[in-house]
Amino acid sequence: MRKFTKYIFHPGFLLGLYLALAIFTGIQQYVKTQQVDERYTRYNNYVIFKQSYAHLMAGENLYQAYPEEYWDLYKYTPTFAVFFGIFALLPDPLGLVLWSLVNVMVLFFAIRSLPNLSERSRAFILLYICVELVTSIQNLQTNALLTGLIILGFSHLEKRSYLKATLFIILSAFIKVFGIFAIVLYLFYPKKYSLLAYSVLWGLVLFFLPVILVGFSGLIQQYQEWLALLWDDQSKNIGFSVSTWLYSWYGIAAPKMLVALTGLAIFSIPLIRVDAYQQYQFRLMTLASILIWLVIFNHMAESPTFIIAVTGVAVWFSARKRDTAGIVLLVLVFLLSCLSLTDLVPREFRTAIVIPYAIKAAPCIFVWLLLVLEMSIDRMRKVSG
């Protein structure tokens, strides 16, 4: 058993595992049968991203429906459409594999970059999130990439490499806007004016990058359409979130904005402990708190989004004192958050229980509440390298 554990925790094995997952998933999504009807492929999300570049190049509205090309809507920034031009130029089989590799490798090397953690702790995080990572990349979304960028931002903040750190964090916000919440991490580091200045610099560069394709007026029009789309989603959608959990478990139909603000207030409680900012484990726990918060208080959170929260759970477990409560919650997250919507669970049970009762979100919510409590009352262990 010791030899087996040493083998699967080895960085070389883990790198091979992650490469295999990315390549296999990219190929799998290409060769699978049709998803909705004969018009659309299994890799519909990839088609949305790919076509966004074509629409941007043609000066067309990124945010209207194009049912002749794909179902659903493009919901990302114009900047993301520019970046996806790299993949749009490739044939789909190669592009799918490359896109999966980008998501998986950014997350892999981000976790490997976490300072002051043992090799065993990093290996544990990488192994623990594998199932949820597969769920994310099978849907060809950006969540693994976003998670990796935020973690890279944290790692470079720890190294005082502020130019790179701010690039990763601001870039995450130009993929999914809620990535900007990671700027909370700036509280822990000196030279805050430099951090803000670099952030503004990268924000301006990334904001105006599409100008080279659509011009200034075209860019402003695209952003107006994007904001209108986000507002429409805000008013209609509800996913695996605290809002759903409150309603399905307790019958509380609280306004989504009130739930989010309450969550923000609870998140902020440990930050009152300014004296703890010098403790690495406190900063690491805040990273975990951010990753979980981004998902459970996102009223549009879907199953593939949970790679962000589950990574936060794994970081939390690696940064705390081992006890029964922590182990029980870790197991519950794996069983209920990672496995509950897979084919291991009967479809009828998923439809009747897992989805309507937000089972996927519940254990992550419990972990987050315990995490905030632990940070607030200083129940953390020292993390050794």
Q: What is the mean pLDDT of residues 225-242?
A: 78
Q: What is the pLDDT of residues 112-128, one digit of tens each?
A: 999 999 999 999 999 99
User: What is the average pLDDT value for the chain, to the nearest integer?
Assistant: 92
Could you write out the DSSP letters of every residue in 347-366?
HHHIIIIITTTTTTTHHHHH
Query: Would you say residue 382 has pLDDT above 50?
Result: no
CA dihedral 354, 298, 42, 136 (to 10 degrees): -80
* Encoded tokens for 352: 């009747």
Contact 293, 181 (CB under 8 A): yes
pLDDT attached to residue 238: 65
- Torsional sign, CA 192, 196, 197, 199: positive
CA angle 300, 302, 306 (to 5 degrees): 115
Return the pLDDT at 256.
Answer: 87
Reported as a pLDDT band with limits 50, 70 and 90, residue 37 is: low
Question: Which pLDDT score, from 0 to 100, does residue 378 have?
Answer: 74
Q: What's the number of CA atoms in the CB half-sphere (13 Å) around residue 235? A: 5
Contact yes or no for 75/231 (Cβ under 8 A): no
Residues 6+ positions from 235 with CB-CB distance below 8 Å: none
- How confident is the model at residue 385, as a pLDDT? 38
> At residue 384, does pLDDT exceed 50?
no
Q: What is the pLDDT of residue 304?
A: 93
Tell me the average pLDDT across 102-117: 97
pLDDT at 98 over 50: yes
CA neighbor of 22 nearest in space, from 119, 102, 118: 102
Q: Residue ranges of the domains in the chain?
A: 1-234, 237-385
- Using the structure block, give the residue that is written with the tokens 């931002």: 153
For the whole model, what pTM was predicted? 0.94
pLDDT bucket at 234, cuts 50 / 70 / 90: low
pLDDT at 52: 96
Confidence tier at 236 by pLDDT (50, 70, 90): low
Please write the tens of the pLDDT for every residue from 248-287: 999 998 898 999 999 999 999 999 999 999 999 999 999 9
Cα–Cα distance for residue pair 192/49, rounded to 1 Å? 35
- Lowest-pLDDT range, 163-172, 286-295, 365-374, 376-385? 376-385
pLDDT of residue 316: 97
> What is the share, in percent, of the chain residues with pLDDT greater than 90?
82
Q: Is residue 36 scored above 60 in pLDDT? A: no
Query: Which residues lie below 8 Å from residue 215, measured CB to CB, with a gap of 6+?
Result: none
383 pLDDT higher than 60: no
Tell me the C-alpha distance between 83 and 32, whole Å.
26
Region 77-84 average pLDDT: 96
Work out the average pLDDT over 284-297: 97
Average pLDDT for residues 168-194, to the nearest whole number? Answer: 96
378: left (phi over 0), alpha (psi -120 to 50) or beta: left
CA distance 169 to 220: 23
The most confident of the ranges 23-37, 39-53, 149-163, 318-332 is 149-163
Nearest CA among 210, 170, 183 for reference residue 79: 210
